[in-house]
Chain A
Amino acid sequence: MSLELKGITKRFGSLVANELIDLKVSNGEIHAILGENGAGKSTLMNIVYGLIKADSGSISVDGKIVEISDPSQALAAGIGMVHQHFMLVPVFTVVENIILGHEKLKRGVLTVEEAKASIERISKEFKFDINPDELIENLPVGVQQKVEILRALIYDAKVLILDEPTAVLTPQETDELLSIMKSLKSKGAAIIFITHKLREVQEVADKITVIRRGKVVGTTLPTATQEELANLMVGRTVDLTANRESNKAGDTVLSISNLNIYDASGRVLVNNLSLDIKAGEVVAIAGVQGNGQSELVRAIVNLEPHTSGSVKLNGKEILGNSVSKTLHQGVAYVPESRELDGLIASFTIAENLILDTHENQPFSKYGQLSNSKVIENAEKLTKEFDIRSQGVFDTASSLSGGNKQKVVLARELSRDVKLVIASQPTRGLDVGSIEFVHERLLAERKSGRAILLVSTELDEVTALADRIAVMYRGEILGIVSPDTSREKLGLMMAGIKERAS
């Protein structure tokens, strides 16, 4: 089966999201659509899946033009989609989620046996290992994604759209997904793979279409180099290797000793952890998501309620302070999720830029916010950090992912801080923004700030860190230098510690 798009155009007001896009995918082919955030990839796929209606253009399946105005028509035409944010009901079981919208009754009673059989058959075929009776909320993210894929397969999708499928996955889960994609391909499926991660594209794609600002700017083969792909995507030359100059580390800024973190029920999340970071040094915490990195970071800024041990900033104990006091003692905090913890979507850019300094001079005077100072500050920071918007009174929700992160960085780095904590600072960002964030963090290192970087991206960790601490199950398994091989780091992340080498 083949899917062909011709001249797809979609406008939102004055914004052209897609302009005259042509695309052809045949069976047994993985077609990667590469583009920065906001390039129009998701809009295009939502048009194909019937969630958005195109202004003009046609979609044809096997040479016949089809009208797709809602997802059920897309499914009927053999098009299935795995969304970036999963469309699963967390309190339902796997099988219940699968039959949702396709319920079959037997003498007036819901029957799931048939669906269970199909799940088991397809699970076996692709080695999914999914228990149909497990609740979704108990499954790891990677497995939830498999459930989404399974759902598309059960309803006979011949064209599978994967919208940024690896954004939420660990390196291991990503590898697994890529191999699933390959085996789907070998069974004759056509796959549209939307991403901005170059390495993945090169690994699995047969054809690559690059989209920039709503237009197709090039079609290429996976033999193209990463630099070529990145240049096409961003539209200018990109330097992918962070330029880390040698730098002499100074005095110890952050000193964590014997830190324990518990959850509300007393379970140990981080166990007896000790770590020092010096001025002018980047220490990266590498590890598979969920091994206590998030809790560690939150504990340092005192967002975790159950802790013991000691965290010293420039020799002063900060564990047990209020969050506000911790931040004002000289900690910049770039949280893991900018949407959830970093920004207030309905607030203006200017307001978001004073979120943790609104009480301070000169922004607050006699209990009243000084509008002129707040604007002045926003104008200065948007310029310095190249935050692109229509103005400082735009809401944060109107910004692209990269610009959102720049707002968070601008707010945190513009304060007088000694320690910068950056948790997953480039997650979900496009190449251009990643470059910006990396440069900025290295500039902070140069200026003598201590930097704690938490990342699940090995490339990022090895490019930026002076020392890499690998975390596994709430403990630091070892601290290694950044020229350690990927294989060794990967093994450590999986909990395997090499004997004296």
Chain B
Amino acid sequence: MAKSFNKSFSVFLLPFLAFIFAFFIGGLVIVFTDPEIMKLIKSPLNFLTAAGSKIGNSYLAVFQGSIYDINLSRKNGVLGGFYPLSETIVTSTPLILTGLAVALAFRSGLFNIGAQGQFIFGAIGASYVGFHFNFSPILHVVLALLAGIVLAGMYGGLVGVLKAKTGAHEVIVTIMLNYVASLFILWILKTEAFLRPKQIDPIAPEVALSARLPKLFGESQRIHLGIIIALFVAVLVWWLISKSTLGFKFRAVGANSNAAKSAGISIPFVTTATMFICGGLAGLGGALHTLGTEYALTANVAGTFGFDAITVALLGRATPQGTVLGAFLFGALQTGGRTLQSNTGTSSDIVQVIQALIVLFIAAPALIKYIFRVKQSAEDKTLTAKGWNG
């Protein structure tokens, strides 16, 4: 018991410290990029007061924009104050799934950079079934989600097949397939099947009402069933990795492919199956985003969900639990960033600086360990992706 607690403690300690440190540096950047405050540098007391209040206000704005806004609660009641949190959850939902798509691949020793492309194909599949057909409500949602999962699963599985058959490195293939996907969606939105009648803008028709994911807390908030599905899938992925026979194979190949091979585990099978499932996960993210939030497919449907996923998975140290937390953190930073700009005039780009710093400190654990004098056990190694020769 104590041992497992220590282990999970150290798994979360480093990301947490990275997070704190990134906010600290972010605060310095906020101050030093503000000309008004820098003018006060000659009188240290005024400078420090101004800097302190600037940083305080900025992070308060991020908090208000992502979790709880007291002003809103005065107007709409205590629960109404949580409107920003609902926005955070809406943003986090697709991130959880793309994050899982990267995290699971890590466990099999694969580096899936392709969540972006897989997300796009998931969105295309769900959108097409969503607007083109008419089914009864529940069936329609299920079929549209399945279409997204399968289409994206095949797109991801293709990477696995290529690696298994030809040895093509998955990093290069997934990066290239991201380009293919983002250009493919531009093209397909101009085809007759996807173009809205009497429209020239590349935007698909909205999905039918029967294919939309139901809102959880009424129409005043955008939060939808997708978050429940995403959390359920995260539990499923946890089960897959740590309890299932298939996950045992995945982990074995990820940890030592030579030994796995010698014990009769088929590497091509694991590679293909992993990439298929990861593609399906990212695709489900795209499908949920389309059916729950966007309704209409546009070329920019994926935003940066697929790329942020890599950070989220790293932040979560490739565990499903950590990935969910990482996705919430990123969702919060993104929604909070908008308020930061409107409330304090600080550029929302600062949020991206903080995100980048978190990644940097996670990627350089030695640095964080040095700064905070943390001792870490050698065992907590869950990221097992290999380099070019791996």
Contact B248 A323 (CB under 8 A): no
Known: A368-B243, A369-B243. A342 touches B262 (CB 8 A): yes
Contact B379 A395 (CB under 8 A): yes
Which stretch from A270-278, A355-363, A482-490 is at the chain B interface?
Answer: A355-363
Contact A367 B262 (CB under 8 A): no
Contact B266 A333 (CB under 8 A): no
Contact B256 A345 (CB under 8 A): yes
Q: How far is the CB of A498 from chain B (nearest CB, A)?
A: 37
Known: A359-B245, A368-B244. A322 touches B264 (CB 8 A): yes
Q: Is A347 an interface residue (CB 8 A)?
A: yes
Q: Is B235 an interface residue (CB 8 A)?
A: no
**Interface size class of chain B, counting residues whose CB lies under 8 Å from the partner chain:** 20 to 34
Which stretch from A170-178, A324-332, A439-447 is at the chain B interface?
Answer: A324-332
Q: Is A343 an interface residue (CB 8 A)?
A: yes
Known: A341-B258, A342-B259, A344-B259. A324 touches B381 (CB 8 A): no
Within 8 A of B (CB), among A143-160: none
Q: How far is the CB of B362 from chain A (nearest CB, A)?
A: 20
Chief secondary structure at chain B's binding surface? helix
A372 to B337, CA, bound (A): 49
Known: A327-B263, A341-B258, A356-B263. A346 touches B243 (CB 8 A): no
Residues of chain A with a CB closer than 8 A to B265's CB: 324, 355-356
Residues of chain B with a CB closer than 8 A to A434's CB: none
A308 to B95, CA, bound (A): 50
A351 to B242, CA, bound (A): 11
Residues of chain A with a CB closer than 8 A to B379's CB: 346, 395
Q: Is A303 an interface residue (CB 8 A)?
A: yes
Contact A344 B245 (CB under 8 A): no
Closest B residue by C-beta to A357: B263
Contact B264 A328 (CB under 8 A): yes
Residues of chain B with a CB closer than 8 A to A343's CB: 256, 259
Contact A344 B244 (CB under 8 A): no
**What is the size, in residues, of chain A's interface with B at 8 Å between Cβ atoms?**
30
Residues of chain A with a CB closer than 8 A to B264's CB: 322-328, 356
Q: Is A402 an interface residue (CB 8 A)?
A: no
Q: How far is the CB of B10 from chain A (nearest CB, A)?
A: 15
Residues of chain A with a CB closer than 8 A to B105's CB: none
Contact A367 B248 (CB under 8 A): no
Q: Is A448 an interface residue (CB 8 A)?
A: no
Closest B residue by C-beta to A333: B262
Contact B246 A355 (CB under 8 A): no
Q: How far is the CB of A415 from chain B (nearest CB, A)?
A: 11
Closest A residue by C-beta to B264: A324
A328 to B239, CA, bound (A): 27
Contact A367 B259 (CB under 8 A): no
Within 8 A of A (CB), among B235-270: 239, 243-246, 248-249, 251-252, 255-256, 258-266
Q: How far is the CB of B296 from chain A (nearest CB, A)?
A: 38
Q: Is A335 an interface residue (CB 8 A)?
A: yes
Q: Is A224 an interface residue (CB 8 A)?
A: no
Residues of chain A with a CB closer than 8 A to B244's CB: 367-369
Q: Is A110 an interface residue (CB 8 A)?
A: no
Contact B248 A369 (CB under 8 A): yes
Q: How far is the CB of A281 from chain B (nearest CB, A)?
A: 24
Closest B residue by C-beta to A328: B264
Q: How far is the CB of B325 from chain A (nearest CB, A)?
A: 23
Residues of chain A with a CB closer than 8 A to B258's CB: 340-341
Residues of chain A with a CB closer than 8 A to B255's CB: 344-347
Residues of chain A with a CB closer than 8 A to B263's CB: 323, 327, 355-356
Q: Mark B217-245, 1 if CB is under 8 A from A, else 0.
A: 00000000000000000000001000111
Q: Is A69 an interface residue (CB 8 A)?
A: no
B239, B259, B266: the one contacting A355 at CB < 8 Å is: B259
Closest A residue by C-beta to B249: A358
Q: How far is the CB of A370 from chain B (nearest CB, A)?
A: 10
Q: Mark B259-285, 1 if CB is under 8 A from A, else 0.
A: 111111110000000000000000000
Residues of chain B with a CB closer than 8 A to A344's CB: 252, 255-256, 259-260
A325 to B263, CA, bound (A): 10
Residues of chain B with a CB closer than 8 A to A346's CB: 255-256, 379, 381
Closest B residue by C-beta to A363: B245
Closest B residue by C-beta to A374: B248
Known: A344-B252, A347-B252, A355-B252. A369 touches B245 (CB 8 A): yes
Closest A residue by C-beta to B243: A368
Residues of chain B with a CB closer than 8 A to A27's CB: none
Q: How far is the CB of A438 from chain B (nearest CB, A)?
A: 23
Known: A323-B261, A324-B264, A356-B264. A368 touches B245 (CB 8 A): yes
Closest A residue by C-beta to B247: A369
Contact A340 B245 (CB under 8 A): no
Most buried by B among A301, A328, A343: A343
Closest B residue by C-beta to A346: B255
Contact B259 A324 (CB under 8 A): no
Q: Is A364 an interface residue (CB 8 A)?
A: yes
Q: How far is the CB of B387 from chain A (nearest CB, A)?
A: 15
Q: How far is the CB of B108 from chain A (nearest CB, A)?
A: 13
A303 to B379, CA, bound (A): 30
Q: How far is the CB of B251 from chain A (nearest CB, A)?
A: 8
A359 to B260, CA, bound (A): 13
A356 to B245, CA, bound (A): 11
Closest A residue by C-beta to B4: A393
Q: How far is the CB of A361 from chain B (nearest CB, A)?
A: 11
Closest B residue by C-beta to A345: B256
A252 to B239, CA, bound (A): 45
A344 to B257, CA, bound (A): 9
Residues of chain A with a CB closer than 8 A to B251's CB: 347
Closest B residue by C-beta to A335: B262
Q: How far is the CB of A126 from chain B (nearest CB, A)?
A: 36
A343 to B255, CA, bound (A): 10
Q: How far is the CB of A328 from chain B (nearest CB, A)?
A: 7
Residues of chain B with a CB closer than 8 A to A341's CB: 258-259, 261-262
A325 to B251, CA, bound (A): 21
Closest A residue by C-beta to B265: A324
> Could you give 18 example pairs across A and B, Cβ below 8 Å?
A303-B262, A323-B262, A325-B264, A326-B264, A328-B264, A340-B256, A341-B259, A342-B259, A344-B259, A346-B256, A346-B381, A356-B263, A356-B264, A358-B249, A367-B244, A368-B243, A369-B243, A369-B245
Please give 20 more A-B residue pairs, beta carbons under 8 A apart, in addition to A327-B263, A328-B264, A367-B244.
A303-B262, A322-B266, A323-B263, A323-B264, A323-B266, A333-B262, A340-B256, A344-B256, A344-B259, A345-B256, A346-B255, A347-B255, A355-B259, A355-B260, A355-B265, A367-B246, A368-B244, A368-B245, A369-B244, A369-B248
Interface residues of B (CB under 8 A from A): 239, 243-246, 248-249, 251-252, 255-256, 258-266, 379, 381
Q: 5 tightest A-B contacts by CB?
A: A324-B264, A356-B263, A355-B263, A323-B264, A364-B245
